[in-house]
Amino acid sequence: MTAARTPSQAALRLLILIAPLWLAGGAASAEEDPGARIAQEGNDRGATACIQCHGEQGQGQSQPPFPRLAGLPEQYLIEQMEAYREGLRPNATMAQIAQNLDDDEIEAISRYYAEMKPAGGPHDVPDDLVNRGREIALEGLPERNIQSCASCHGDEGRERNPSLPPLAGHPPRYLMAQLQAYAHGARETSLAGLMEGIASELEEEEMAALAAYYASLPAHPD
């Protein structure tokens, strides 16, 4: 007789029902979300837990350089995992991991990181490099017809649309390596062509300055 039940009895029943879920805490979310599970535990076919390198909050790390994943766009993440799997973006560690994930797992892990609050940076980098990098990032190099990075990546490197990654908060050495990879045609992701043209026009010291600038910005403004 439900109508006769007092509020306190109802509350008690509810507590008994939800208590095990509540006590299980974070573990419950990993069980329910396959993306969270792969991030924290990897899978049983040899894909390593992402947090081992990319951090508990997906914030990445400076040294050795591991990029942030938290808050990168979902479609961008899917494209990059497929590129590693197919060797279009050469990296032995990520190739091995991506080859051990199926399409559904790649989608789940990409959704998981895309929904996470942006995290990563600011990294410790020399001020003079940051100042030089900011100048190129915001104004481009008009005398050499190089457009500003900000026109696509946003004023503070936080612009994101489905295929456009934010740059703020990545480790400087990671950003530098990517600019070199584009410049040498080593990164052949679907939209790499846009970056190839730009990166191949940059001097090494300009790349280092740009990498320092974006690394000096936190992924999230607060």
Summarize as ranges the residues that interact with ligand HEC (CB under 6 A).
38, 47-48, 50, 52-54, 66-67, 69, 72, 77, 79-81, 89, 91, 93-94, 97, 109, 147, 149, 151-153, 163-165, 167, 175, 177-179, 187, 189, 191-192, 194-195, 198, 210
Please check whether residue 103 is in contact with residue 115, taking contact to mean a CB–CB distance below 8 angstroms. no
Where residue 169 falls (left for φ over 0; alpha for ψ -120 to 50; beta otherwise) is: left
Q: How far is the CB of 58 from ligand HEC (least distance, A)?
A: 9
Give CB contacts under 8 A, 24+ apart, made by 151-156: 152/194, 156/217, 156/221
Inter-CA distances, 196 with 69, 76, 212, Å:
22, 17, 19
What is residue 182's three-state secondary structure? helix
List the Cα angle 44/45/48 in 5-degree steps: 75
Which residues share a beta bridge with 164?
161
| 28/34 with CB nearer ligand HEC | 34
Q: How far is the CB of 24 from ligand HEC (least distance, A)?
A: 23
**Least separation in angstroms between CB 175 and ligand HEC:** 5
Instruction: Considering the complex, state which of residue 28 and residue 53 has its C-beta at the smaller distance from ligand HEC.
Output: 53
Min separation Cβ 7 and ligand HEC, Å = 46
Q: Which is nearer to ligand HEC, 50 or 219 (CB)?
A: 50
Question: Which CB, 81 or 125, lies closer to ligand HEC?
Answer: 81
Comparison of 16 and 61: residue with beta carbon closer to ligand HEC: 61
Report the nearest approach of ligand HEC to the CB of residue 14 (Å): 37
- Return the amino acid letter for 190: S
